[in-house]
Amino acid sequence: MAIPLHPFDVVVAGCGIAGLSAAVSAAQSGAKVAVLERAPIEERGGNTRYTDAYLRMKSETEVTDDFETHLADNGGGYLDPELIRHTTGAYEQWPAIVKTLSFADPELIAAFANACGPTVQWLKTFGVKFDFLPTQFLTRSQPRLLPIGGGLALVEALAAAAEKLGVTFFYETTAVSLMQDEDLAITGLNARSKMGEPRQFKGKVILGCGGFEGNPEMQTRYIGPRAVYLRPVARGGYYNKGEGIRMALDIGAAPCGDFGSYHAEPVDPRSGRPEPSVFIFPYGILVNQEGLRFTDEAPGTVDAVYESITRKIFNQTNGIAYTILDNKINDVPNYKLGLRSDQPPITGATVAELAAKLKVPAEAVEKTVHDYNAACVAGTFKALELDHLATRGLNPMKSNWARALNQPPYQAYPIISSNVLTFGGLKVNTRAQVLDQDGVPMRGLYAAGEVVGMYYKTYTGASSVLKGAVFGRLAGMDAARAG
């Protein structure tokens, strides 16, 4: 039986912010475009559908002052200075090993930052509105611009624009492998329908189908056996199986990004709602299943420190910890903004009663709370700014908002690390073309969003939706005009 062949100019895998931005920009440039989406239409959009879509921007035209610096500071490991010095010259003169080095190129970071403002203005042409709305971060060091209606508004606006431009959507259709001609140019995608039937889509290919947070085998392979304690932050992440990354690596694409890491966010494991985050832990203490503190709960504003603290939670026994608070949490204005869980706190009239409900050793928790309380000193508590009200003589110390836990009832929330997005992906240039292992653009192949590897060690907060929109738009424009 002949495999059905669908001819297009551009074939996009994925229907989140990256894939939709690519599809719309390609269609605007005159290309005949197809979008392949694993999910059914009612769940299209991947993680974008479920996110608030924070953007690390200080206005609708400017990224934050630390945008490029933060990406650069977390753009690789211990890099060879003899190789890095080549990046001060023109990109065309870089040696191949530098073009494929596992780090975030200065050229790419600059292009990313410069394109954010124009991309937001482009998104506005589809009716998306932006504002500096309240966030779940009660304290923050950098501003966040938000699309009104969150990521779902982006998905619906771009999907409507794509449909109006004549883009054809194939739902419940999974990209499987790349097609190449005798000259090794990418000519299309092999795919399968929900019934397992093979399909072929001809055209230049843009991979915008996310990372691998929905693939336990890839998570275990790259992140390690403790990945069993991870889960995607929202339902959309379960559709991200990593095929886009894998199929490109299989034919010689250069990898980039920290494959052994991911963007960590603290969530309540009892909740099944999207992104059931718990960001109020800086106002209490964190204890593990042994009933012991293991970290400074408040070294800085919560937006700047939650990821590193969540990673420490991930490394505790069974990948779980508990934030313990007392009734003084009610002194924190609008503290429930920092809670997205739909589950109530676990409460106790005494610390021992609370510990029993948490199934952690009561004597250990009582001692932990006693030692913490004894280390708290008099001072002025300022809930919504760094108050430097720190413990004394306690290891680990607590740097801010250190008040004794002595006002019952006591309450707690369990916290695990969710996997918002994986860091490992493909190396691209400033046109979003995928590079091979020699630094040469792979003809007919592009990547956008989390398929693009850029992050190392620590996520640059509120940049992933921008990354999808920017590189999706660049990929779509280039694929449409390329010969």
In contact, 242 and 212? CB cutoff 8 Å = yes
CA 318 to chain centre: 23
For residue 37, the one-letter residue type is E
Local mean pLDDT, 10-residue blocks, the chain (483 residues): 90 98 98 98 97 97 97 95 95 95 96 98 98 92 95 98 98 98 97 94 98 98 97 97 98 98 98 97 98 98 97 98 98 96 98 98 98 97 97 98 98 98 98 98 98 97 98 98 73
Beta-strand relationship, 346-348 and 410-422: antiparallel
Backbone phi, then psi, for 264, in 5-degree steps?
A: -95, 135
Are domains 5-261+423-481 and 265-418 of this chain identical in fold?
no
Cβ count near 160 (within 10 Å): 14
**pLDDT for res 483:** 61
C-alpha to C-alpha distance for 271 and 456, rounded to whole angstroms: 29
Boundaries of every domain in the chain:
5-261+423-481, 265-418
**pLDDT for res 344:** 98
411 forms bridges with which residues in the sheet? 325, 347
Domain spanning 5-261+423-481, CATH architecture: 3-Layer(bba) Sandwich (3.50)
**pLDDT for res 260:** 97
For residue 19, give the nearest of 170, 228, 227, 150 by alpha carbon: 170
**Cis ω on the peptide bond leading into residue 225 (within 30° of 0)?**
no
- The helix/strand/coil state of 158 is helix
Q: What is each CA distance from 280 to 105, 233, 303, 443, in whole angstroms?
A: 36, 18, 11, 48
**pLDDT for res 482:** 66
C-alpha to C-alpha distance for 188 and 245, rounded to whole angstroms: 15
C-alpha to C-alpha distance for 253 and 434, rounded to whole angstroms: 7
**pLDDT for res 141:** 87
Which tokens is 90 given? 């023109």
C-alpha to C-alpha distance for 284 and 329, rounded to whole angstroms: 8
DSSP assignment letter at 55: B
C-alpha to C-alpha distance for 283 and 199, rounded to whole angstroms: 54
Q: If residue 72 lies in a helix (H) or strand (E), which one and from where to where?
A: helix 67-73
Domain 265-418 CATH class label:
alpha beta
